[in-house]
Chains A and B, each alone.
Chain A
Amino acid sequence: MPFLNWLKRRLVVIAGLLTLAYLLLPNVIVTVFSFNKPKGRFNYEWQRFSTEAWKDPCGVADMCGSLSLSLQIAVWATVGATVLGTMISFALVRYRFRARGAVNSLIFLPMAMPEVVMAASLLTLFLNMGAQLGFWTILIAHIMFCLSFVVTAVKARVMSMDPRLEEAARDLYAGPVQTFLRVTLPIAAPGIAAGALLSFALSFDDFIITNFNAGSTVTFPMFVWGSAQRGTPVQINVIGTAMFLLAVLFVLVAMVLGNRRNKQKA
């Protein structure tokens, strides 16, 4: 049975590709339906081809405003979480200090906590303090949950770094600041970049924590959530498709640049 043998040898590959298809199917649907012209308020059934939504992506009231708000929050959350997280990871890897165990658990716990629990407890804090829910409470929450992920990403990179490189720099009369800026930081950069990228994606796409702590402020995920009740404009799919394409393009360009640099070094 040559066919059965062929199938047996490729079973893993076929199963893996099927999973990949499962992962990508919704993205295909989102893209296809960005060219739909739905009949009612909801864009769940295919009617006929149209490029109207692509020509007028901001044609829905409030959508682009929420998008720009989400981008702003994501940028500031990324900056905040990356700076704080990088500092923590350097302290963890490079120094001995008391209460290391407590610090480690305080970083691990937010990642091991269901989002809804963090969201609800943060809301009780804000309610007790009488804080005005909005941009700042969202930003505070986002920095909080992105922090742990940055620490994990940067720590892994700094840990694998050869400490002798820094010793060498100091032996060559580089001061602490110079050593940090010209040796440590460039080596840690990929870890920091990975942490920052992760923060951006997490913050931009966060719904549960934002839903609890946003008050009446509407971020893009909140807009999508609301539209699932009121009616989904095609423009949502346009934004979704554009984001997917931009992400793929961004990663591919980064990969090509990385390959070229590796080849130059070789």
Chain B
Amino acid sequence: MSTLTEAPPPLSPEAPGEKPPRRRGRFTPYWLLLPGMLWLIVFFALPMVYQASTSVQQGSLEQGYKVTWHFATYWDALDAYWPQFLRSVCYAAAATVLCLLLGYPLAYLIAFRAGRWRNLIMVLVIAPFFTSFLIRTLAWKTILADNGPVVHVLNTLHVLDLTGWLGWTAGDRVLATPLAVVCGLTYNFLPFMILPLYTSLERIDGRLHEAAGDLYARPWTTFRKVTFPLSMPGVVSGTLLTFIPAAGDYVNAELLGSTDTRMIGNVIQTQFLRVLDYPTAAALSFILMAAILAMVTLYIRRSGTEDLV
């Protein structure tokens, strides 16, 4: 037990019947939390407050800004940039669906079918993380180049006619079109889908598959009724981990897109770092934050998994 130099155990502040994990050191948890929490409060929470305040200020760089509760900034910002907002949501949603469709088979493969190759495939999924994602995104410029093999094949198969008709591409190009941006977003956030999917698939007891088979379920039925429902936590956290960063991204739209594919991230970046219109930029960023938080809360409620963290 504890030595005599320690403080005596506090008079149980917890509800009777619930046993605290440890009784010694009443203030220890607060000391442990203090530095990290201070860091998050000062450099994460406080900036949010500053941003909210900036968004209702008026003024100029030279004369300084004053809080005037000018909420019209929000309205003007939405009015001017709703296409970019809409585009961000559409691109991010498309990338999330693609990530799920592409990532699920690979996560399934690693969890159930890879055997002794499992570790190697895991390494290959994670390793690209260590090459700067900007370099890897630039590589898509080579892959999707106008006179490259991909565009050539798509042209020969008349796929580009179809995507052009849908408005995803323009002419004989893939680069500088929505398709290229979505392709880049999908690529960049795919590992964020695969890893949670794999974690939840890996927990599934293999005997459940056997049991389903013994009960005359065909493989597809087994997947639909057993595997997929059990992997839902992975699907939920995977889609969140893909959608949220994709919706705020501006790198793919800038490197692979054109002025017609600008997303809300591009607008915020330009307003903040080039135009220096801080109130508008702060308002846009605030709207993005609110929209994402609302969507995430709704989504988590509906999918019924609240224990994501």
User: Which residues of A pack against B, CB within 8 Å?
Assistant: 12-13, 15-20, 22-27, 29-30, 33, 44-45, 84-85, 87-88, 90-91, 93-97, 103-104, 106-118, 120-125, 127-128, 140-141, 143-144, 147, 151-152, 163, 170, 175-176, 201, 204-205, 207-208, 211-212, 220-221, 224-225, 228, 232, 236-237, 239-241, 243-244, 246-248, 251-252, 255
- Given the interface contacts A120-B285, A237-B135, does A248 sit within 8 Å of B35 by beta carbon? no
Complex CA distance for A239 and B132, rounded to whole angstroms: 9
Among A29, A116, A176, contact of B142 (Cβ-Cβ < 8 Å): A29
A228 to chain B, nearest CB (A): 6
Instruction: Indicate if the CB atoms of A22 and B282 lie closer than 8 Å.
Output: no
Instruction: Indicate if the CB atoms of A232 and B138 lie closer than 8 Å.
Output: yes
Decide if B222 is an interface residue (CB 8 Å cutoff).
no
Complex CA distance for A116 and B273, rounded to whole angstroms: 12
Interface size, B (range): 35 or more
Instruction: Indicate if the CB atoms of B296 and A44 lie closer than 8 Å.
Output: no
Quick one: CB contact mask for B20-57 with A, threshold 8 Å, 1 for yes? 11101000111011011101110111111011001000
A192 to chain B, nearest CB (A): 14
Complex CA distance for A88 and B108, rounded to whole angstroms: 34
A226 to chain B, nearest CB (A): 10
The closest CB in chain B to the CB of A105 belongs to B309
| Chain B residues whose CB sits within 8 angstroms of the CB of A175 once the complex forms | 3
| Chain A residues whose CB sits within 8 angstroms of the CB of B190 once the complex forms | 19, 22-23
Decide if B123 is an interface residue (CB 8 Å cutoff).
yes
Instruction: Indicate if the CB atoms of B21 and A106 lie closer than 8 Å.
Output: no
Decide if B180 is an interface residue (CB 8 Å cutoff).
no
User: Which residues of B pack against A, CB within 8 Å?
Assistant: 1-3, 14, 20-22, 24, 28-30, 32-33, 35-37, 39-41, 43-48, 50-51, 54, 102-103, 105-110, 113, 119, 121, 123-143, 145, 187, 190-191, 194, 240, 244-245, 247-251, 255, 265, 268-269, 272-273, 278, 281-282, 285-286, 288-289, 292-293, 296, 308-309
The closest CB in chain A to the CB of B190 belongs to A23
B154 to chain A, nearest CB (A): 15
Instruction: Indicate if the CB atoms of A116 and B128 lie closer than 8 Å.
Output: no
A-B contact count (CB 8 A): 269
The closest CB in chain A to the CB of B281 belongs to A120
Among B141, B272, B289, B296, contact of A212 (Cβ-Cβ < 8 Å): B272
Q: List 15 A-B contacts (CB under 8 A).
A: A15-B109, A16-B110, A17-B106, A19-B106, A25-B139, A44-B141, A45-B142, A45-B145, A88-B32, A94-B29, A106-B40, A116-B269, A116-B285, A117-B285, A151-B36
| Chain A residues whose CB sits within 8 angstroms of the CB of B268 once the complex forms | 116, 120
A125 to chain B, nearest CB (A): 4
Complex CA distance for A146 and B21, rounded to whole angstroms: 28
Instruction: Indicate if the CB atoms of A113 and B130 lie closer than 8 Å.
Output: no
| Chain A residues whose CB sits within 8 angstroms of the CB of B46 once the complex forms | 125
Instruction: Indicate if the CB atoms of A163 and B21 lie closer than 8 Å.
Output: yes
Instruction: Indicate if the CB atoms of B33 and A44 lie closer than 8 Å.
Output: no
Dominant secondary structure at the A interface:
helix
Complex CA distance for A144 and B106, rounded to whole angstroms: 32
Instruction: Indicate if the CB atoms of B134 and A19 lie closer than 8 Å.
Output: no
| Chain B residues whose CB sits within 8 angstroms of the CB of A25 once the complex forms | 139, 143
Complex CA distance for A255 and B21, rounded to whole angstroms: 35
A76 to chain B, nearest CB (A): 14
B235 to chain A, nearest CB (A): 16
Closest 6 CB pairs of A and B: A114-B248, A16-B109, A247-B130, A95-B29, A15-B105, A121-B47
B103 to chain A, nearest CB (A): 7
Instruction: Indicate if the CB atoms of A141 and B43 lie closer than 8 Å.
Output: yes
| Chain A residues whose CB sits within 8 angstroms of the CB of B292 once the complex forms | 112-114, 117
| Chain A residues whose CB sits within 8 angstroms of the CB of B40 once the complex forms | 106-107, 110, 144, 147
Complex CA distance for A168 and B134, rounded to whole angstroms: 50
Instruction: Indicate if the CB atoms of A244 and B145 lie closer than 8 Å.
Output: no
B169 to chain A, nearest CB (A): 19
- Given the interface contacts A17-B109, A94-B21, A118-B44, does A87 sit within 8 Å of B51 by beta carbon? no
| Chain B residues whose CB sits within 8 angstroms of the CB of A121 once the complex forms | 47-48, 50-51, 282, 285
The closest CB in chain B to the CB of A70 belongs to B132
Among B39, B50, B123, B255, contact of A84 (Cβ-Cβ < 8 Å): B39
Instruction: Indicate if the CB atoms of B269 and A244 lie closer than 8 Å.
Output: no
- Given the interface contacts A88-B36, A114-B248, does A244 sit within 8 Å of B113 by beta carbon? no
| Chain A residues whose CB sits within 8 angstroms of the CB of B308 once the complex forms | 108
B14 to chain A, nearest CB (A): 6
| Chain B residues whose CB sits within 8 angstroms of the CB of A84 once the complex forms | 35-36, 39
Complex CA distance for A220 and B175, rounded to whole angstroms: 25
B168 to chain A, nearest CB (A): 18
Complex CA distance for A100 and B24, rounded to whole angstroms: 18
| Chain A residues whose CB sits within 8 angstroms of the CB of B125 once the complex forms | 20, 23
Complex CA distance for A22 and B126, rounded to whole angstroms: 13
